[in-house]
Amino acid sequence: MSTVTDMTETEEAPAVHAAGALPRLAARTRNLRKVYGRTVAVDHVDLDVPVGAVLGMLGPNGSGKTTTIRMLLGLVLPTAGTVELLGHKMPDGASWALPEVGALVEGPGFHPFLSGRENLLRVAAAEPRLASKDIPRAVGQAIERVGLSGAANRRYRGYSLGMKQRLGLASALLLPRRFVVLDEPTNGLDPAGTREVRAVIADLHAAGTTVLVSSHLLAEVEATCTHVAVLHKGAVVAQGGLTELLEAGDAKLMVSTPDVTVAVNALRDNRIPAREVPNGVHVDLAATTAPEVVATLVGAGVAVHEVRRQRTGLEELFTRLTESAEKGNGLSDVDTFEEPS
Ligand SMILES: Nc1ncnc2c1ncn2[C@@H]1O[C@H](COP(=O)(O)OP(=O)(O)OP(=O)(O)O)[C@@H](O)[C@H]1O
């Protein structure tokens, strides 16, 4: 379901950046913490969402994704820490930041006895940036975009979880936004629905919109995101560009060569861990680099036919990160963001 927060205009924009300067980060939290009774839902989260990124917030059930998102949007007050959204401190800057933000967040929002279309018309009517004359067209386009045309005139009460998700997504897409936040957008969707959500995210990214999407599905994040933040028990255990994070894992090199034995011996003589595999040699890059491996092999007279870097899969990386966090040493080897081009 979707939560769309009504805006109350205030006199002064509490921007935290100099006039005219666009923030580099669409959202930024520092030391963010939320405690419910005895449950620490979110703990010292420093999250950076670069402008233009599609950032996947990845974590198992209960790791604090929804709570972090709700604090970002000013729907829940932090116990401690700060949130900046599009350069505005939250929740004080909500009336400035939120009109630029579309959100699909779990929670009450739609009227059960109204149809999907009527619900969207109500949401659209509360949009300060949508003129009355443009509302029917904006609602029609959003319904079409999320594939809900066939069910738009049915009562919300009878919607399946997938239809509810689609309607929530439609409300986040009613008008162009600088930042779109989607909490588990494929929850309850069939494979076709999942593909449509991926296409919507790709369209938003192509249009320059920053997207924050939470998921517990590794494949989904790997397929759609440019950046990732991994949450575990309320804490961020790693964040960064997806490619950089994967490459910072236990990198390995596959060398294709007919001279396998000579290659393995030459590498081991130079203290480079290597082992024979069909049609080649597998080299561990933990303590060396690809150019060094190639130079060693060529120096030993090995015929190198092909060299390929093997990327860590996100699943393998995620397992390693969460196991490492369990042992109390969350990885911090990649903790900076590349500015998306
Ligand atoms: N309103 C609340 N009252 C009490 N505890 C809460 C509340 N909201 C969240 N929690 C607890 O905080 C922790 C983090 O929950 P949160 O919903 O943020 O995780 P999540 O990663 O989004 O999980 P999921 O994938 O299941 O939605 C959980 O232990 C949850 O039970």
Residues 42 and 137 in one domain: yes
- Please report whether residue 19 resides in a domain: no
Nearest CA to ligand 1 atom 29: 62
Is the pLDDT reported for residue 143 higher than 90? Answer: yes
Provide the percentage of residues in the chain whose pLDDT is more than 90: 56
Mean pLDDT lowest for which of 101-105, 216-220, 327-331?
327-331
Report CA(85)–ligand 1 centroid distance (Å). 22
Q: For the chain, how many structural domains are there in total?
A: 2
Give the binding-site residues of ligand 1, using a 6 Å CB cut-off: 36, 39, 41, 59, 61-67, 216
Name the residue of 1, 3, 58, 66 to mutate for ligand 1: max ligand atoms within 8 A of Cβ: 66
> For residue 331, is it within any domain?
no
Whether pLDDT at 230 is above 50: yes
- pLDDT band for position 83 (50/70/90)? very high
Question: Where among 246, 263, 282 does a domain terminate?
Answer: 246
Query: At residue 264, what is the residue type?
Result: V
Question: Which whole number is the average pLDDT over 67-79?
Answer: 94
The reply to whether 117 and 220 lie within a common domain is yes
What is the CATH classification number for the domain harbouring 218?
3.40.50.300
Domain residues for the domain of 230 are 25-246
Give the distance (Å) from ligand 1 centre to CA of residue 41.
6
Kindly state whether residue 29 falls inside one of the protein's structural domains: yes
* Mean pLDDT within 307-323: 77
Tell whether 214 and 299 lie within a shared domain. no
Buried b (16+ CB within 10 A) or exposed e, 229-264: bbbbbbbbbbbbbbeebbebbebbbebebebbebbb
- Residue 104, class by beta-carbon neighbours within 10 Å (0-12 exposed, 13-18 middle, 19+ buried)? buried
Q: Are residues 180 and 69 in the same domain?
A: yes
Closest ligand 1 atom to the C-alpha of 69? 18
Kindly give the distance from the C-alpha atom of residue 25 to the centroid of ligand 1, in angstroms, as a whole number.
25
Tell me the pLDDT of the chain averaged across its residues: 84
Q: Whose CA is nearest to atom 26 of ligand 1?
A: 61
By most ligand atoms within 8 Å of CB, the mutation choice from 45, 58, 67, 161 for ligand 1 is: 67
- CATH number, position 273: 3.30.70
Shared domain for 148 and 292, answered yes or no, is no
Distance between Cα 37 and ligand 1 center (Å):
12
Please give the Cα distance from 94 to 73 (Å, whole number): 8
Q: In 143-242, at which residue ranges do the beta strands (DSSP E only) sit?
A: 179-183, 210-215, 227-232, 235-241
Taking the CA of residue 38 as centre, how many other CA atoms within 13 Å lie in the half-sphere pointing to its CB?
0
Q: Give residue 106 CA to ligand 1 midpoint distance, Å.
A: 11
Residue 339 has what pLDDT? Answer: 34
Residue closest by Cα to atom 3 of ligand 1 = 36
| pTM of the predicted structure, to 2 decimals | 0.77
Q: Are residues 174 and 259 in the same domain?
A: no
Centre of ligand 1 to C-alpha 66, Å, is 7
How many CA atoms does the CB half-sphere of 304 hold within 13 Å?
A: 22
The pLDDT value given to residue 13 = 47
- Residue 61: per-residue pLDDT: 86
The radius of gyration computed from the CA coordinates of the chain, to the nearest angstrom, equals 24
My answer on whether 279 and 155 are in the same domain is: no
Residue 330: the pLDDT is 41
Q: Which residues pair with 238 in a beta bridge?
A: 230
4 pLDDT more than 60: no
